[in-house]
A and B are shown apart, each in its own frame.
Chain A
Amino acid sequence: MLDSLLLGFSAFADPMVPVGLVVGALLGYLIGAIPGLGPSLGVALLIPFTYSMDPLVSIVTLIALYAAAEYGGAISAILLNSPGTAAAVATSWDGYPLTQKGQAGVALNVSIVSSGMGIFVSTFLLFLTAVPLSEFALSFGPAAYFGLALVGLSLVSSFSTGSPLKGGIAMGIGLALATVGLDAQTGVPRFSYSPEFFEGLPLVPVLLGLYALSEVIFMIEEGPSAKTKSVPMTGILAVPLKTFVSIKGTLLRSSVLGYVIGVIPGAGASIASFVSYGIAKRLSKTPDQFGKGCIEGISASETANNAAVSGALSPLLALGIPGSPTTAIMIGALMIHGIQPGPLLFTLTPEVPYTIFAALWISVPVMIFIGLAGARYWAKVSDIPRPIVAAIVAAISLIGSYASENSMFPVFITLAFGVMGYVLRKLDIPLAPIILALVLGEMLETNFRRALVISNGEFDIFFSSPLSLVLISIAILSFGLPALRSVHNWTKRRKVYHEEG
């Protein structure tokens, strides 16, 4: 394992790899600092630039962007009370009060260093767990793989914003889209009304449409918002080491918590930061200080949301199951370079996962330096007028989509999915389950069919092995429990409504 890790670090001997890391980190900060643009959109927008890159350079650039975008989300949360990403909401609860007290620099320093700690510790956990997990996954049969894909989809649907019903509809839409193209087993064209669809819906143009172009329409709707003025920042380098020593427990606990929550498909960085913040408050000696500018609160939120990045990479690398929309997009990027994530990744192309581990570790000091040195400039990024950001995102999405096949077909796909994404978001139908289902659809169907061929058409195969039984039970529970909770809440509200006349 250590030899493989050295292999990962040796990738940095190619000068383009560290350059990719720095460029990815800079872009990640830029994306994260602009409210509304998150890591998913950033990774989707960067993919077209990586088509002609060396696979390792492109992966390192994307990973650095993913991690830095989570860092960058905290900057506008602290300085403007306007979180750049959903995962930075809890950071603003204590970060902005500190800014109001004139300690914006302290808040930023704590958030940046905590983010680095979160990545550092969680990558160590990823390194320790991903290989055994992938070795365990090699023993999975088609029924277990079907169950695993179903668990991923069900958790993402139930964790998504909005009602579980709408999460389920989104999953149905994604699975239906995944069946477009030639059937992998019989070669029959399905739902393909022109030959361009025979290879299925191209993933990158769909992602650019759903995430980037739909956001452009939202920015147009928002219009040129009133300009906010960030407060002056002082004392960013004046945080003593003892401050971090005093919160070492929070740093360690939040790293582990963020990693574990990140592993759960659908849970992701925002849930990790909220849970970590809640636990830190409960265990704190001064819980009444939370929400009033407590350093421990900033640290708990930022450590956990960055640790969730490594957590989300664990199922992606070891099982080929994306744990978050960003990692689902990352699958598209890996596939473009002919890399198939999953249990065989560690044996067939070990340089890929180990370079990712090395990149995550090396990115920690790089991002802390970039974050601290450029904090005042990142804060200015959120002042860029929205119409300009909209024009940049629209242009990169459409040209990036064109570049994926050098034809107009993917551009039309991006346009169609952009409008569809906007309408679905207006209807509170989440996009994450669509992307996950689109990515996992083929795996789900192939293993479903393989399992039934093995069992001669008997459905018992899904319940005969303990592993598939457990996985399918988890899937059923994660579909069923939120639905039952919704029905329970609805009947309770109805009862109250009738009692009040």
Chain B
Amino acid sequence: MNNPTVNSAIVEEYQSRKAHLLRVPMAWLELVSGMVLVAIAGFYVYEAELLPDPFNPRAVGAGDFPMIVGLATVAASLFLTLLGVIHLISGKEHKHVTLHRPLSVAFGIAALIGGVLLLEHLGPLVGIATLSLLIMLAGGERRIGYLVAIPAALSGGIYSVFVLLLGVYFS
């Protein structure tokens, strides 16, 4: 339990994580996400309103159920926004949302988007190897042996299973 090597590794990791940290009050996020959800749900309601009415005036049309869902979601999102405002003006200690390693997360998401966009052009073998290499780099893996071997093995394995065994083809 008191292994000094393990303890120093934990302390080192804690300090490193603390240095790469982004903390945002949940109340702010609730306020912003509530407003975004109101806008999206409002657009959904608007689109539902444009759907044609049923021939039978007593029947439920294509837009009626989405309208109910949309209005309920708008109401709930407005309430979330309101709660965010109340939490902010109450001046109390807020719950915080912590984002560790924000740059790595942004790089990881960019790698996923890039990998997906290039997948068809590069083909499954190179595409998967590139994507997994980038994901491992984003995840903090720096050992050269792992960075070479794992993507190669992974893309080979996935190619064997999906393309050779299951017959998935890439255009």
- Give the CA-CA distance A457 to B56 in the complex, in Å: 10
Contact of B59 among A216, A386, A412, A453 (CB under 8 A): A453
Contact of B100 among A172, A223, A392, A427 (CB under 8 A): A223
Decide: A166 and B41 in contact? CB cutoff 8 A.
no
Query: DSSP class of A's interface residues: helix, strand, loop or mixed?
Result: helix
Known: A226-B10, A226-B13. A395 touches B132 (CB 8 A): yes
Q: Across the interface, which residues of A come within 8 angstroms of B92, CB to CB? A: 497
Decide: A179 and B69 in contact? CB cutoff 8 A.
yes
Known: A179-B66, A221-B101. A398 touches B116 (CB 8 A): yes
Decide: B158 and A449 in contact? CB cutoff 8 A.
no
- Give the CA-CA distance A109 to B83 in the complex, in Å: 48
- Give the CA-CA distance A226 to B5 in the complex, in Å: 11
Decide: A395 and B131 in contact? CB cutoff 8 A.
yes
Decide: A216 and B119 in contact? CB cutoff 8 A.
no
Decide: B101 and A220 in contact? CB cutoff 8 A.
yes
A3 smallest CB distance to B (angstroms): 35
Decide: B80 and A169 in contact? CB cutoff 8 A.
yes
A339 at the A/B interface (Cβ < 8 Å)? no
B159 smallest CB distance to A (angstroms): 9
Decide: B76 and A169 in contact? CB cutoff 8 A.
yes
B97 at the A/B interface (Cβ < 8 Å)? yes
Decide: A221 and B112 in contact? CB cutoff 8 A.
no
Decide: B60 and A221 in contact? CB cutoff 8 A.
no
Total interface residues on A, CB under 8 Å, equals 65
B122 at the A/B interface (Cβ < 8 Å)? no
Decide: A176 and B73 in contact? CB cutoff 8 A.
yes
Question: What 1/0 flags go to A472-501 for Cβ under 8 Å of B?
Answer: 000000000000000000000000010000
Decide: A176 and B139 in contact? CB cutoff 8 A.
no
Which positions 129-156 of chain B face chain A at CB distance < 8 Å? 131-133, 135-141, 146, 150-151, 154-155
Question: What 1/0 flags go to A351-387 for Cβ under 8 Å of B?
Answer: 0000000000000000000000000000000000111
Q: Across the interface, which residues of B come within 8 angstroms of A217, CB to CB? A: 105, 108-109, 112
Known: A224-B139, A227-B9. A394 touches B119 (CB 8 A): no
Known: A188-B51, A217-B108. A165 touches B80 (CB 8 A): yes
A175 at the A/B interface (Cβ < 8 Å)? yes
Decide: A403 and B60 in contact? CB cutoff 8 A.
no
Decide: B29 and A387 in contact? CB cutoff 8 A.
no
Contact of B73 among A173, A400, A428 (CB under 8 A): A173
Beyond contacts A51-B166, A190-B62, A391-B131: 16 other A-B pairs, Cβ-Cβ < 8 A, are A49-B166, A165-B80, A179-B65, A188-B51, A188-B52, A190-B63, A224-B141, A387-B135, A387-B141, A391-B139, A391-B150, A398-B131, A402-B168, A415-B116, A452-B59, A457-B60
A sample of 6 inter-chain contacts (CB < 8 A) reads A169-B73, A176-B44, A190-B62, A226-B13, A398-B116, A448-B65
